[in-house]
Homo-oligomer: A and B are copies of this chain.
Amino acid sequence: MNNSRLTIAQYVDGLASGDRIVLSKAITLAESNLPNDQILAGQLIEQIMPRTGNSIRIGITGVPGVGKSTFIEAFGNTLSDDGKKIAVLTIDPSSQLTKGSILGDKTRMQSLSKNPNVYIRPTASGNILGGIANRTREAMLLCEAAGFDVIIVETVGVGQSEVSVRNMVDFFLLLMLAGAGDELQGIKKGIMEMADAIVITKADGDNIQHATKAQADFQHALHLFPARSSGWSPVVSTSSSIENKGIAEVWKLIKKFQTKTSESGFFEQQRSEQNVQWFKEYFQQLLVLDFQRNEFLQNAMAKLSVSVREKLTSPYSAAQQLLAEYHKLIRES
């Protein structure tokens, strides 16, 4: 693995020239769990920071079956027609086990993947408990440094990954199906509260009436929520990806959001708060990394694991002992 690594300067130069092979390698580096790779990735991110932040960052979520891929295809092609360069980062929460879905991701977003203005990259959802955090934020920054104007982060619409994606994007878009019933869609109040816009998908053919009804229902439901600190009132619209209807309108809406919240100062303020959040998360990653890199502590952990496995020590007491070892080591260093 390591011999495919570039130098920091090579990564920085490659990104600056928009080299997609270098971009892909840089994201792979950021996603690596090897301690040395993580250090290199940290230095790389630090170096490219001045070249980041110039895109609009859009999170898109919705339950499986809502038509995320086809929506993103149509949306991405619309952005491309508007002269934008688009990076699509897809997060698969179950990929940590098998690195791929049973259906295969290859067939998804076929036309978009052929568009020269578009870069598509699946990213692992990560598992902080195993010391591996989600690196989507890093991937996003690397895409910005490579010159992309719009970053789309796609995530499956149930659960924890939405919260972490919401915390790294400017605009959060929720896709919903008409008439599928709230329960089937599994959309919780919490996810609706995070959305800057809701788009009812598949508003075509016999489904138009249902979609218009759902639009009114959701708009009504959103009125029951308290006003946003952004000053932005979330909008509900309908779209048809196959008929390419309502797609350009979503892009217009997002541009309006950007203008409005930039004027009010919210746009920058939200990014600042997201950076603070990132600092805290990154610190926790460093704590874990610090530990992983230490051979003595790794040995102590392995010995305590044997002891726990043989029921000589409880998990709780073993953890306390390991913490004591860690403190002792730092004191003696």
Contacts and interface: CB of A to CB of B under 8 A. Distances in A.
Interface of A: 42, 45-46, 49, 63-65, 92-98, 100-103, 125, 127-129, 131, 133, 156, 158-164, 181-194, 221, 272-273, 275-276, 278-288, 290-291, 301, 304-305, 308-311, 314-320, 322-323, 326-327, 330-331, 333
A301 B323 CA distance: 21
Q: Mostly helix, strand, loop or mixed at chain A's interface?
A: helix
Number of copies: 2
B283 A322 contact: yes
Contacts of A326: 287
Nearest to A268: B311
Contacts of A49: 314, 316
A63 B157 CA distance: 11
A224 to B, nearest CB: 10
B94 A162 contact: yes
Contacts of A93: 158-160
A65 B163 CA distance: 22
Contact of A98 (B190, B288, B304, B314): B190
A323 B64 contact: no
